[in-house]
Amino acid sequence: MRITDKLCKSMDKVNEDVICYGKDFAFVIDGQSSINDKNAKTTKWYVNVLKRELKKNIIHGTLLNSLNQTIKSASSIFKKTFSSMEVPSATIAIIRQKNLKVEILIVGNAKCLVQTKKIELVEDPRMDKVENNILKKVKLLCGDKNINSLELKKKFHELLSETRNKVNTMGGYPAIKDKPLNEEDVVYKEYDYNDVISAIICTDGFYAYKTYLMIKDKDLYAIINNQGLAHCYKHIRRMESKDVNCSSFPRLQLYDDVSALYIVFY
């Protein structure tokens, strides 16, 4: 497997996403700031520790065991360094080639598009309920004519904090944090190596492109194949900048970090 295109960009000074890849693995991590991390710097620090630790662990054992070992070591390092702060959370998409298999593991709202004889989406279907609930609340807020833009931004922040407070709880969604994950917390899929032509792993910030354009996964794949990840990124930012109140494309922040890796298999 080899990486033929990559993207990891932010409109903020601090990018909470990271990407990483080697000769037989790749992953994208989307960090999610805790409430007391006002400028996201400790979240950026934590996702980079996760990246470093997972890069060391990913060749050993199952993907879930590798990830759990990473969570254990990274959260321990974080707590020793920032003893008074809550460990941030993160979502992840991992792909690994091992023993003539292509393995994919998803935590949270990260995605993986796989090209075999068709385009398949590997995701956590539980996220649909979580995200639809958030979108309903965003639409209600956007439709309230008594809320000015400053108050709207504050309400969005409160809703974002409320959502992240529910990580790894009933009514919330699974995420990397400071406790090991169980099999039911992740989505794992395996393909025969010879069946996989290519794959794209991405954060929800990138997958928003499909939502904005209201297209199918196969159409998204075709656009990436023909025009590349950078083209998608420019289009995402153009659409977001035209929707400053987040009403045309309901979301909790004007700009999200955007990351993706395009992988081809020999």
Q: Is the predicted pLDDT of residue 25 greater than 70, yes or no? A: yes
Report how far residue 198's alpha carbon sits from residue 79's, in angstroms, rounded to the nearest whole number: 38
Provide the percentage of residues in the chain whose pLDDT is more than 70: 92
Containing 112, the helix (H) or strand (E) segment is: strand 111-115
What angle do helix axes 204-213 and 217-241 make, rounded to 10 degrees? 90
Dist. CA 85–CA 101, nearest whole Å: 40
> Do 34 and 82 touch, CB atoms closer than 8 A?
no
Q: DSSP secondary structure string, 59-77?
A: TSS-HHHHHHHHHHHHHHH
Please give the single-letter amino acid code of residue 37: D
Q: Which of 23-37, 61-75, 107-121, 156-170 has the lowest mean pLDDT?
A: 156-170
Residue 6 to residue 137: CA distance in whole angstroms? 33
pTM for this prediction: 0.90
AA identity, residue 186: V
Alpha carbon distance 29, 176 (integer Å)? 10
H helix or E strand, kind and range, residue 127: helix 126-142
Q: All domains of the chain, ordered by start, with CATH?
A: 2-124+173-230+257-264 (3.60.40.10)
49-76 average pLDDT score? 96
Q: In a 3-state reduction of DSSP, which class is residue 90?
A: strand
- Of the ranges 159-168, 169-178, 256-265, which one carries the lowest mean pLDDT score? 159-168
Question: Residue 57 — left, alpha, or beta (φ > 0 → left; ψ -120 to 50 → alpha)?
Answer: alpha
Q: Is 126 left (phi over 0), alpha (psi -120 to 50) or beta?
A: alpha
Phi, psi for 264 (deg, rounded to 5): -115, 150
Of 54, 59, 153, 41, the residue nearest 103 (C-alpha): 59
The two tokens of residue 178 are 């400071």
> Taking 70 as the threshold, does the pLDDT of residue 106 lie above it?
yes
